[in-house]
Amino acid sequence: MIHPWLQETWQRLIGLGERLPHALLFVGPAGLGKRDLADALAARLLCATPGPDGHACGHCTPCQLRISGNHPDLLPVVPAADTVAADGDGAEDAADGGAAKKKSSQIVIEQIRDLQESLAVTGHQSSRRVVIVDPAEAMNAFTANALLKLLEEPPEGCIFLLISSAPRRLLPTIRSRCQQWTFSRPTGDAVAHWLSTQDAVAGDLLALTGGMPLAAQRLAQNGSDLLLKRFVKDLGQLPAGDPLRLAGQWESWLKSKEALAAGFGMVQLVEWMQRWVTDLASLRLGGRLRFFPAEEGVLSALASRTNVAMVVNCYNELARIRRVAQHPLNARLMLEDMLLRYARAVTGSRR
């Protein structure tokens, strides 16, 4: 499926025909549909009889193999953690106290070695093979260097499609071996057309995601609107409450069934905090609300007593916390640190 705001990019891609480079890097914010576009391009490249619109026919043998998930020449390279939803057991494992081994959120070097072995033999259905690496920034330096060797000497007929929302985390040598395609935030008209076909909840969440339509859709589908209501209520009441007590409540909240079912964890919580503090600072400085326009009343009341320097410092500390939120050494201490800094900022207290 090609989303309305990606149609122009799709036409440019298929217009390249046989001039398509051996490695493409799709770059842009999460929630724009970069992976959907890569999947559609991979389907076209492997299809025996693409249609006049450039899309795979969906009926030939290669298409049937791809649709069933068994095409031997389509080689996705993704973190093991990203397969949890497909397995259907991620939430149960977490609810059982992590009895099962937690799956990696990184692309590990063994995956690239397996890819090298797969590419060492000729294609099964044709001479063309497609590798999708998503997200490319999930590779560490060792894994990236292993992939780099393949990009420098690509097997004949192999197309690499790399997807990244954080290209600066990629090795410069990786970026230099790929033709980069940059995806920007869609225009209002394209988003308005898309919203008209979606649940109203997705529209309400669009601002929170920074105007990223598919990110808003995912939040709506997994019930994050209810999580968001609690988040806003807790922060709105915090100046009169106890940050340490709220940290304990949030620690339990992150382990709750509703949070696990929605895939809501420390990373997303810290990102919401960053966006909340961004809007708070914007209001305090006479700007507009970007992420929480529906909460103008709450944020205005907080902004009236906010210390500007402290709220800016709070944001900077949240950025630091975000870098380690994927693997916090002590979740409770991280939550306490985050909420204490926020409480001091909104009360103007330096204690």
CA distance 275 to 212: 14
Residue ranges in the chain whose pLDDT is less than 50? 84-100, 351
Per-residue confidence (pLDDT) for residue 30, from 0 to 100: 86
Enumerate domains of the chain plus CATH numbers.
4-184 (3.40.50.300), 222-347 (1.20.272)
Per-residue confidence (pLDDT) for residue 113, from 0 to 100: 93
Per-residue confidence (pLDDT) for residue 348, from 0 to 100: 64
Per-residue confidence (pLDDT) for residue 249, from 0 to 100: 95
Cα 78 to the center of its chain, rounded Å: 13
Question: What six digits make up the tokens of 74?
Answer: 């389509």
Per-residue confidence (pLDDT) for residue 88, from 0 to 100: 41
Per-residue confidence (pLDDT) for residue 339, from 0 to 100: 93
Per-residue confidence (pLDDT) for residue 114, from 0 to 100: 92
CA distance 99 to 117: 32
Per-residue confidence (pLDDT) for residue 52, from 0 to 100: 87
CA distance 319 to 313: 10
Per-residue confidence (pLDDT) for residue 335, from 0 to 100: 94
Per-residue confidence (pLDDT) for residue 29, from 0 to 100: 87
> Measuring CA to CA, how many Å separate 27 from each of 7, 134, 163, 171, 257?
16, 11, 6, 14, 34
Which residues have C-beta within 8 Å of that of residue 124, sequence separation ≥ 6?
72, 73
Residue type (1 letter), 192: A
129-133 sheet: strands from edge to edge: 74-77, 129-133, 158-164, 23-27, 179-182
Per-residue confidence (pLDDT) for residue 124, from 0 to 100: 63
Per-residue confidence (pLDDT) for residue 322, from 0 to 100: 87
Q: How does DSSP assign 86-128, residue by residue?
A: HHT-HHHHHHTTS-SPPPPSSB-HHHHHHHHHHHTS--SSSS-
Per-residue confidence (pLDDT) for residue 102, from 0 to 100: 61
